[in-house]
């Protein structure tokens, strides 16, 4: 696996593959890789001939109150994991390469509606930063396919909408969330949890599952979501939001909707954890 830091080398390597007619899958990441990322790489190896990953801790998607400097950076271990998972090329640009004019003068991509609520409300500007960097990375790598983890369900909808709205010729492949045995979704943020916090954190996924069962028999979506939030708070977490939404538009679910998603976020100690579950009503 090659690690490439410059745009010219990235483009020439990828052009060689294109000339050979090879199909390219791309997995953008911010590093500090865990089994959830590895599942993305494995999926990418199944759907394409060549796999490109990127590691870039994107300053544009961090809020002023979010500590980008302390975001875990584990490049050597990440390279080893990518190599073992079958990645062919790793792109590791610097912020100066991606944003040479600085963030203030950078053009950006804003994806309306799906970016607005939930994590978009709790983290203003976050999805603008995600859409902009992913658009830019797509233009650099020009993949046929890109794989994203469903743990970040709203992010997947933002990217899918961007690709459709801007006619990008890229297939987005969502990949199932990888979980610990306790049900806790794998996330780099789990590193911030103490042993006590780790013991209570599965309450997030447990209550989402409870809610998924309840809404099969009742359309009191708001009342049931409030109950789930109280149950999450009762173990010592602090619910940021828990909502039942239309699976594609992310609008609050109406009585007639059948394809739903439960989206939730909760603070657990220093970590803000997110999780979700897609639900089909019968």
Q: What is the DSSP letter of 252?
A: B
Is the Cβ of residue 71 or residue 210 nearer to ligand PAF in the bound state? 71
Is the Cβ of residue 88 or residue 152 nearer to ligand PAF in the bound state? 152
Question: Of these, 26, 29, 119, 247, which contacts ligand PAF (CB under 6 A)?
Answer: 29
Contact characters 165-204, ligand PAF, x per CB under 6 A = ----------------------------------------
Give the separation between CA 232 and CA 218, rounded to whole angstroms.
Answer: 20
Q: Cα–chain-centroid distance for residue 158?
A: 10
Contact characters 144-163, ligand PAF, x per CB under 6 A = --------x--x--------
Sign, CA dihedral 128-28-136-153, equals negative
Beta bridge partners of 276: 263
Give the separation between CA 139 and CA 126, rounded to whole angstroms.
Answer: 20
Question: Of these, 130, 193, 212, 215, which contacts ligand PAF (CB under 6 A)?
Answer: 130
For residue 202, give Cα distances in angstroms to 26, 36, 194, 235.
Answer: 31, 17, 13, 10
Instruction: Pick the piece of the chain touching ligand PAF (CB under 6 A) from 96-104, 127-135, 230-238, 247-255.
Output: 127-135
Q: Residues 37, 126, 246, 267: which is the catalytic one? A: 37
Give the separation between CA 160 and CA 32, rounded to whole angstroms.
Answer: 24
Tokens 């995600």 identify what position?
A: 130
Is the Cβ of residue 58 or residue 207 nearer to ligand PAF in the bound state? 58
Instruction: Pick the piece of the chain touching ligand PAF (CB under 6 A) from 1-9, 25-33, 99-107, 246-254.
Output: 25-33
Does the footprint of ligand PAF cover residue 133 (CB under 6 A)? yes
What is the chain's alpha carbon radius of gyration, rounded to the nearest angstrom? 19
Tokens 């459709």 identify what position?
A: 164
Q: Total residues at the site for ligand PAF (CB under 6 A)?
A: 10
Question: Of these, 44, 87, 119, 134, which contacts ligand PAF (CB under 6 A)?
Answer: 134
In the residue annotation, 37 being an active-site residue is answered as yes
Token pair of 14 as six digits: 């990828």
Which residue from 144, 252, 116, 224 is spatially nearest to 232, judged by alpha carbons? 224
Is the Cβ of residue 130 or residue 247 nearer to ligand PAF in the bound state? 130
Mention every residue, 6+ apart, whose C-beta is less than 8 A from residue 242. 207, 208, 211, 225, 228, 229, 232, 262, 263, 264, 265, 266
Is the Cβ of residue 33 or residue 204 nearer to ligand PAF in the bound state? 33
Within residues 53-82, the interface with ligand PAF by CB under 6 A covers: 58, 61
Least separation in angstroms between residue 58's CB and ligand PAF is 4
Write out the catalytic residue numbers. Answer: 37
Q: Which residues bind ligand PAF (CB under 6 A)?
A: 28-30, 58, 61, 130, 133-134, 152, 155
């Amino acid at each position: 696996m090659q690690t490439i830091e410059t745009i010219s080398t990235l483009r020439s390597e990828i052009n060689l593959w294109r000339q050979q007619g090879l199909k390219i899958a791309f997995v953008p990441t911010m590093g500090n890789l865990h089994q959830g990322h590895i599942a993305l790489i494995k999926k990418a190896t199944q759907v394409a001939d060549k796999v490109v990953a990127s590691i870039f801790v994107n300053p544009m998607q961090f809020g002023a109150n979010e500590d980008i400097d302390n975001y875990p950076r584990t490049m050597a271990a990440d390279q080893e994991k990518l190599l073992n998972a079958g990645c062919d090329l790793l792109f590791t640009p610097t912020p100066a390469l991606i944003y040479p004019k600085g963030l203030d003068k950078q053009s950006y991509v804003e994806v309306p509606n799906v970016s607005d609520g939930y994590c978009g409300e709790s983290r203003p500007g976050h999805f603008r930063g995600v859409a902009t960097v992913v658009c830019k990375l797509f233009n650099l790598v020009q993949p046929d396919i890109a794989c994203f983890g469903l743990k970040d369900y709203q992010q997947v909808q933002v990217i899918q909408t961007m690709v459709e709205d801007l006619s990008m010729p890229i297939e987005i492949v969502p990949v199932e969330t990888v979980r610990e045995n306790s049900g806790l979704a794998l996330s780099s943020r789990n590193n911030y949890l103490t042993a006590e916090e780790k013991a209570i954190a599965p309450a997030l996924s447990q209550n989402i599952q409870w809610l998924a069962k309840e809404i099969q028999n009742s359309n009191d979506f708001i009342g049931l979501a409030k109950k789930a939030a109280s149950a999450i708070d009762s173990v010592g977490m602090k619910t940021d939001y828990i909502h039942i939404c239309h699976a594609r538009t992310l609008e609050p679910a109406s009585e007639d909707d059948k394809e739903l998603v439960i989206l939730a976020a909760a603070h657990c100690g220093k970590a803000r954890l997110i999780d979700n579950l897609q639900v089909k009503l019968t």
